[in-house]
Structure formats: C-alpha cells, structure tokens
Structure 1
Amino acid sequence: MKARMESPAMLVPDAMQALQSLGKALFTSAEQTGIPSRTLFLAYLRASQLNGDSVCVELHSRNALAAGESAERLLAVSAWRDTRYFDDAERAALALSEAVTRLQERVDPVPDDIFNEAARHFEVQALATLIAGIATANLWNRLNVSTRQIVPVSKSN
C-alpha cells in the first residue's frame, strides 16, 4: 500500500504548525476545564474509526494508552453502547463524537438529546473544547483518508 500523496498538512505552508498549535490549545483547554485527556482520545478514536482513518485510529489508541487508558476499553470503543466500560460522561462524549462525525446521516445531525446530555456532563468551555476537538479529529481524518495515508509499520509488528 502506498499513499496517494504526502499529507496536505505537510504540503500547505504553515498548515502543520497551525494544526499542532490547535491541538495543543485543545489539550490545554481540556486540562483547564477538567476534561480528562483519555476522554478526548476516546472521542477522537471513535471519529477516526467511523471515518476509516487507520493513521488516526493508531495514533489515538497509542496516545490513550500512554495517558493510562486500558486496552480493554480501547477495544470496546466501537461498541461503547453495549459495554460496561464507560461512565456517563464518556458515553456522552462518544455519542457527541458520533453525531458530529456523521452529520450527513440525520435531518437534525446533532439532536438536542445528544447535545444536552453532553452539556449535562461538561461546562460550556469544556463542551466547546470537546466539540472543537472532535471537529479537528474529523479534519485530520479527511486529510488522511482522501490521500490514503498509511500507518508506518514498525519492525516489531
């Protein structure tokens, strides 16, 4: 397998720096607002799974593991509704991630029940951070999927 081209984030002047700055701002905001980084990684992982972005699935899985996430919970993210692994706030973040990622699938893409459940668990700035983070994950997914970016295989794989 081979990528169609180098990532647009690498080719567009200053894009990578801007995207990395956005990522840092999101994690700084998450820390300030009390969103566990593990929750962000779960939301990003779910968006990446839905979008078929193998690069980001691996990246967010590795980052979540480094942040203390368990392998069992990561393996269960794709079936989060049917497992006991996630608390109510994480479930709200995962539902919001799915809704924001699947905008085209509903007349009301992010229904009130999903938004209100997330708002019940996250204060306004935290919710803004979560939404901006999910949108950023989707941006990366679209860059990677459209150009068929490939996960580098390490020698240990």
Structure 2
Amino acid sequence: MRMNYFSASPAGLKAMLDLQNHVHQAAKVGELGEGLLTLVYTRVSQINGCAYCIDMHTKDARKAGETEQRLYALSAWRETPFYTPRECAALAWAEANTLIAGNGIDTALYEATREHFSEKGMADLTLAICTINAWNRLAISFAADVGSYQPS
C-alpha cells in the first residue's frame, strides 16, 4: 500500500464509513438486501478495475451464499439468464451511474429501474453505487493490498 489513507484522513474516512454503514443498514432492513449489494459492488469494482474491491466483494458474496456461476458471469450479466429482472435493473443502474461522465442517465433507464425500487430504494441504491465508486478510487490510488481482505 502506498499509504494508509485511514490514518492520513481519519475524519474523512469516518464520514465514508458512516455512509457505508447507512447503506448496509438500509440493505439489511430495506428493499436492497445484502445479496444485491454484493453484486452491485462487485460489478462496479469490475468496471473500475479495482482488484482489491473485486477480491473483497466476491469473498463476501461467496460467504453470503452467492454461486460461483453468477459471480463468474457478472461481467456479462446481460448475456445470461442467471439474474432476476430486479438484479438486472440494479446492475444497469449501477453501470450507468459508474460511467456517468459524458453519458448522463436517461429517463428510460430511470423509469425501468423505478419499476423495481421505491424512491427510498433508488436513493439507497444510488448511495451504494456512489460509495463503492469512492472506495474503488481510494483503493486504486493508494494501491491497497490485493488479496489481504478476509471476511469477518
């Protein structure tokens, strides 16, 4: 690791962790669910090329009971029958929000995603996407130790 960003900016990382805790709590008691969250986190991390986060979230997903087949096919989710329409909506929303620069979010995608999520669900899903994008940038920028993560 190039530097320990947790010790370099403890207040900033506390704010990140507070947002992360909100997202995880909302997933536990709300409509997202931890399984969906791990799929979204993994897919966003694949897009961003964050090896540390891909390692982390696939380990968490396996621990939570996710199948190898679905994890292996995640980068090609549109081409497989392995994901529910709700999961596909979340993955499409995650990809669009991760690749938002120069693309925006069109109304058709918003409406298609809203068919599966309430306003709170959409807000929490988008916060989860924002959060994992931020963690990816920290892990990549400061060369987090890939493979060191162990699920609790």
User: What corresponds to 2:89 in structure 1?
Assistant: 92
Mark the runs of 5 or more structure 1 residues left unpaired by the alignment.
none
Pair 1:132 & 2:92 matched? no
* Cα distance change, pair 71–99 in 1 and its aligned pair in 2 (3 A): same
Q: Distance in 1 between matches of 2:62 and 2:101?
A: 31
User: What TM-score do the two structures reach when normalised by structure 2?
Assistant: 0.90
Deviations 1:55-107 (A, max 9, x none): 1101111111122211110111100000110010000000011001101242x
Q: In structure 1, which of residues 44, 47, 58 is the aligned counterpart of residue 44 of structure 2?
A: 47
SS at 1:85 equivalent: coil
Q: What is the Cα deviation at residue 21 of structure 1?
A: 2.2
Q: What is the Cα deviation at residue 49 of structure 1?
A: 0.3
Q: Distance in 2 between matches of 1:69 and 1:84?
A: 15
CA contact (8 A) 2:55 2:147 kept: no
AA aligned to 1:8 is Y
User: What TM-score do the two structures reach when normalised by structure 1?
Assistant: 0.87
AA aligned to 2:22 is A
Give the superposed CA RMSD.
1.6
Q: Distance in 1 between matches of 2:148 and 2:88?
A: 32
After superposition, residues 100-119 of structure 1 pair within 5 angstroms as 100-106=97-103, 109-119=104-114
Mark the runs of 5 or more structure 2 residues left unpaired by the alignment.
none
Matched positions, count: 149
AA aligned to 1:67 is A
Q: In structure 1, which of residues 63, 70, 84 is the aligned counterpart of residue 60 of structure 2?
A: 63
